[in-house]
Structure 1
Amino acid sequence: MSVECTADREPLVSIIVPVYNSERYLPTLLDSLLSQTYHNLEVICINDGSKDSSLQILNDRSSQDARVVVVDKENSGAAATRNVGLDRATGEFLCFVDSDDYVMPTAIERLVGIAVEHYADAVIFDMDNFDDATGETSPTNAVVKEFVPSRTVFQLKDIPNFYKRIVGFTVNKLYRSSYLKEMHLRFPQLGAHEDMPFTYVALSAARTLYYLDETLYYYRRSREGSLSDGTNDDYRFMVNALESFRLELVHYDLWDACKRDFINYALHMCHWKYTVLSRRYRWAFGGDCRRNIFKQFDITDYDQSYFYDSDDYSFFMRAAYPSLSYRIASSGMYFVQKAVRAFE
């Protein structure tokens, strides 16, 4: 049964905001949320043991606007903090916002209207980067537009290589709360890449999805004291997130429907991780892929026809069979030569 959205019946929206040492940015973020053209909000701000004046700012705003709900707790990281917000959320819809970002004033109104009209379990929307140092904005490419239909309902099965086409950001989705509560879905506490399992499992379980190709959110870059981690060169966090993602798909009986997309995504993430690792870590990662990681995620069980992206498959061939790839590359086969160049 659809929820009606009229002037006198606005469904409650829970906005979950994890906060850590954000005193410089919190006023801007809170202004952007409390000035939304959509008014029936609860802004659940969870202070994750901040050492600056963030908690005082939150308490001051809460005393001025009852829609601001403040939860104070010891530091435990972004995943645990968002889970506290999920436990406290009472809205018919929910979304996540980071404490150093800001949201367009019509964002919630647009998203709820779409979710109600199309009875979408999740609405995906565009977000741009905002460079804190220069003030310039740039696209995040959170959605690969040529593969994802805009302004119409769809499901995961409608988009081959789904997980590569829609980036697993936490903050550019609005969810219908009821189906997430039925699942009791939570962020795994992994230390990094914790958005991945939650976001993709939530989208995989959604009966209907909708993509609104409008920029409604600005993600602040180059900020001091952010919740971002320093784990870029430790690929184990990514591997653990992929394993958590797979286990959740199995747990929620989504594996059969999502298996091919997951295996392709696991290969893509290995390829991506190799490109962003510093040179000193690449050799170890390539060897670990060959010995363990490709087998762990069933990548070695399939031939080239199973994979959507030739670049990702070329990476797999070079990493899994380095000696063979070298001999084939010497004979002039283009797809392996391309992979060899990626490893140089």
Structure 2
Amino acid sequence: MKLTAAISYREHIKKQLGGKFMDKSQKNKVSVIIPVYNGERFIEQCLNSVLNQTYENLEIICINDGSTDQSLKKLKEYAAKDDRVVVLSQENKGMSGARNSGMDIATGQYIAFVDCDDYIDVTMIEKLVDIANRTDAEIVITNILLFFEDTLQIKSFRDEPLYYSLRKTTFTLNQAPEMIKHVGVWDRIFQRDFIEKNKFRFIDKVTYEDAAFCIETEIKARKIALTPEHLYFYRKNAGGSITDKEKNNDNYKRDYIKVQRFIQEQLKQSDMNNEVWRAYLEYFFSYAIMHQKNATTFRFYRWFFRQVQSILAEQPKETTDLINDIKIKEYINYLKNNKLLQSYLKL
């Protein structure tokens, strides 16, 4: 079935699914979108964490994105037991295509994204909706914990002092520039009207699509709020995530450049101040260094170096001069002075 305009498609799905989407009030309803591709190992833990939320006014949209394992069977079993679960199958379109399909049929006042190999605290949706209703924030963010599958360890990851300092207020990206470094879409809820008004969608068929969506929405938001509580559990070292695969695949590094160019264009079109640009460039260069180190051949190393070099050339000196990180400043020196071989030997 071809995706058409969101409203007509949404009406089509309502009829196809026997009116499931019309069972509950759309006011304060949260559409939880879960892309699923060969997620049979973890989908039960993920879905249980969503179904057991203290907040019950949910529609749980599971997009089976061409899975070849038992994911679809498990999803259908959950849908048969709980009428809040809706399963839509499609040919594999990747994470972007799955999330976009979910947004096209979502009817809730708020939209949340959960990856099928992660799980959430049972109070997460209730707490984020409460903040959204009290503050009228278009985006409400939670802190996260990393869950390491291989060791079963759970670790904090983000800037704790920053999150606590922002917990009692709403803010814009200009007012809290460091938030641009904390990329994610699964750690937050969005007002659906905000998404539809601005026609936000994930860039199709690229990796790191969440970075583009995250930063573009933060740029446009007039009110962002957060809680410092750790309510989202991000699974690491399970063997299937992008971060597990990116080291030895140069295509991911090409996507990184493509996505970052998109983000930079959004920043240029906005009225973001120099501190936002400084924080963004620290984020950009820190991951560029990681990708640069992991280039699989010298030929690709050189290509990536030239790409980052051209991006640096577009930045005003007064912005790059604000960067204090020693490793980043050293990398910038390599780029500015065309020290390709020296960087290859030392990074």
Distance 2:308 2:207 in 1: 18
> Unaligned 5+ residue runs, structure 1?
1-7, 327-339
Distance 1:263 1:66 in 2: 47
CA separation of 1:282/1:116 partners in 2, compared to 1, >3 Å: closer, same or farther?
farther
Q: Does 1:272 align with 2:287?
A: yes
Partner of 2:6: none
Partner of 1:314: 330
Report the residue type matching 1:212 in the other structure.
Answer: T
Structural mapping, 1:228-243, within 5 Å: 230-232=245-247, 233-234=249-250, 235-243=253-261
Partner of 2:143: 126
Distance 1:229 1:131 in 2: 12
Partner of 1:335: none
Q: Select which of 182, 193, 202 maps to 2:208.
A: 193
TM-score (norm 1): 0.81
Tell me by how many angstroms 1:261 deviates: 2.7
CA separation of 1:114/1:48 partners in 2, compared to 1, >3 Å: closer, same or farther?
same
- Decide which moves more: 311-320 or 299-308: 299-308
Tell me by how many angstroms 1:154 deviates: 1.1
Tell me by how many angstroms 1:308 deviates: 3.5
Partner of 2:130: 113
Tell me by how many angstroms 1:269 deviates: 2.0
TM-score (norm 2): 0.81
CA separation of 1:303/1:321 partners in 2, compared to 1, >3 Å: closer, same or farther?
farther
Report the residue type matching 1:199 in the other structure.
Answer: C
Structural mapping, 1:155-234, within 5 Å: 155-164=172-181, 167-226=182-241, 230-232=245-247, 233-234=249-250
Structural mapping, 1:27-38, within 5 Å: 27-38=44-55
Q: Does 1:54 align with 2:71?
A: yes
Tell me by how many angstroms 1:120 deviates: 1.0
Are the equivalent residues in 2 in contact too, given 1:120–1:210 (CA < 8 A)? yes
Q: Select which of 92, 99, 104 maps to 1:87.
A: 104
Tell me by how many angstroms 1:194 deviates: 1.1
CA separation of 1:287/1:48 partners in 2, compared to 1, >3 Å: closer, same or farther?
same
Are the equivalent residues in 2 in contact too, given 1:190–1:237 (CA < 8 A)? no
Distance 2:275 2:303 in 1: 22
Q: Does 1:26 align with 2:39?
A: no
Are the equivalent residues in 2 in contact too, given 1:149–1:211 (CA < 8 A)? yes
Q: Does 1:17 align with 2:31?
A: no
Are the equivalent residues in 2 in contact too, given 1:29–1:103 (CA < 8 A)? yes
Are the equivalent residues in 1 in contact too, given 2:170–2:223 (CA < 8 A)? yes
Distance 2:214 2:303 in 1: 27
CA separation of 1:299/1:220 partners in 2, compared to 1, >3 Å: closer, same or farther?
same
Distance 2:36 2:242 in 1: 8
Are the equivalent residues in 2 in contact too, given 1:21–1:225 (CA < 8 A)? no
Report the residue type matching 1:209 in the other structure.
Answer: I
Distance 1:341 1:293 in 2: 14
> Unaligned 5+ residue runs, structure 2?
1-24
Distance 2:93 2:26 in 1: 37
Are the equivalent residues in 1 in contact too, given 2:93–2:205 (CA < 8 A)? no
Percent identity of paired positions between Structure 1 and Structure 2: 28
- Count of equivalent residues: 317
Distance 2:119 2:319 in 1: 43
- Decide which moves more: 126-135 or 16-25: 126-135
Post-superposition Cα deviations, 1:261-302, rounded to whole Å, max 9, x if no partner, equal: 346524642343223544665865775566443333554531
